[in-house]
Amino acid sequence: MTRKIYLCCLTFLGAISCNAQKAKYLYESERLKIEQLTENTYLHLTYLKTQDFGNVACNGMIVIDKGEALIFDTPANDADSQNLINWTESVLKSKVIGIVATHHHIDCLGGLKEFHKREIPSYANNKTIELAKVTNRILPQNGFDDQLELKVGDKKVMNEFMGEGHTKDNIISYFSNENVLFGGCLIKSVGASKGNLENANVDEWSKTVERIRTTFGDVEIIIPGHGKSGGQELLDYTIELFN
């Protein structure tokens, strides 16, 4: 099977899957949607208003344990961050103890000010902090180079820089207790286009995702930055898309 035919087949199957299995949201409003993926893991979905594409749906992750919560990627603005924090603490009964930005774009840290206002510590790759300075965004408070392990309740989430792709600073976050990986914009949903390549390294993108596939071979659920979550097929699709 040629690569072109393979990608077309994946796109068709992805479209069937999306139509057959609509997300069942635990919470849904005009600006915020929450989907429960596992016992302790949730997907948060908010919207980025753009001139070219209208309201773009943006994914993030919530991990909870023992009355604590870690959030991965902020909504694009502070008002939606306020809604997300309020919902997490009131409905999940989990105090937000940290926010991780997976890269420097607005759909990852545009709502960071609200987290800082509530004295919630923020974390990011040091490259993300440097790039956020250039774009005059609110800066994450705590930086790391390669790996950062964060504790939530009695569990841990590993945050790791695996290589360049969507941006030079993109990281992934892996919750090993439930085999859930938040790939952010580095990982594409099945059927997605290449998307925003303004800060991308397309030559390294597939190689980076191949390292993720090798390192996290037991991952069962993968959350992309945009679009439907899935399994290992998201890694396969992203690799093929950029080969």
List the catalytic residues.
103, 105, 107, 166, 185, 188, 196, 226
CB atoms within 10 A of CB 86: 13
Q: How many CA atoms lie within 13 A of 58 on its CB side?
A: 27
Amino acid 127 reads: K
Angle ∠(190,194,197) on CA atoms, nearest 5: 150
Instruction: Tell me the C-alpha to C-alpha distance, in Å, between residue 111 and each of 63, 134, 198.
Output: 18, 17, 21
Max Cα distance, the chain (Å): 53
Q: What are phi and psi of 52, to 5 degrees?
A: -85, -35
Q: What are phi and psi of 80, to 5 degrees?
A: -70, -30
The H or E element spanning position 95 is strand 95-101
How is residue 96 written in tokens? 């937000």
Q: Name the region of 139 (left: φ>0; alpha: ψ -120 to 50; beta: rest).
A: beta
3-state helix, strand, coil in the chain (%, to 5): 30, 30, 40
d(CA 37, CA 39): 7
